[in-house]
Amino acid sequence: SQQGEEDPQALSIQEGENATMNCSYKTSINNLQWYRQNSGRGLVHLILIRSNEREKHSGRLRVTLDTSKKSSSLLITASRAADTASYFCATDLNDYKLSFGAGTTVTVRA
């Protein structure tokens, strides 16, 4: 069954603006992770938030988790051209597999 689903599918912003994307999931989770993928490349781990956490920061990234709504958001502040990529949330039901959403494609215009 599908788990993480990102919204919006695509986002275009000006350099310096903030980018916000959301992820919804269906079943209870242990953790939720966000990954970045540059076109044709591998997945880069950005941040993990545990089910008992509500907010987490890492540099210009801020992740929130609302387990009652089964949703998470990723905020990238002061975006740069290098932030242009696809962003995926991934949920895990156990230690053994991640379930990915379809991703949000972010384009940062110079």
Partner 1 sequence: EPEVTQTPSHQVTQMGQEVILRCVPISNHLYFYWYRQILGQKVEFLVSFYNNEISEKSEIFDDQFSVERPDGSNFTLKIRSTKLEDSAMYFCATGHSYEQYFGPGTRLTVT
| Binding region for partner 1 (CB under 8 A) | 30-31, 33, 35, 41-45, 48, 50, 88, 90, 92, 94-103
Shortest distance, CB of residue 102 to partner 1, whole angstroms? 5
Q: 49 forms bridges with which residues in the sheet?
A: 32
Shortest distance, CB of residue 16 to partner 1, whole angstroms? 28
Shortest distance, CB of residue 32 to partner 1, whole angstroms? 10
Which one, 82 or 110, has the nearer CB to partner 1? 82
The C-alpha atoms of residue 90 and residue 104 are separated, in whole angstroms, by: 12
At 57, the amino acid letter reads H
Which one, 75 or 98, has the nearer CB to partner 1? 98
Rounded to whole angstroms, the maximal C-alpha distance in the chain is: 41
The C-alpha atoms of residue 30 and residue 41 are separated, in whole angstroms, by: 27
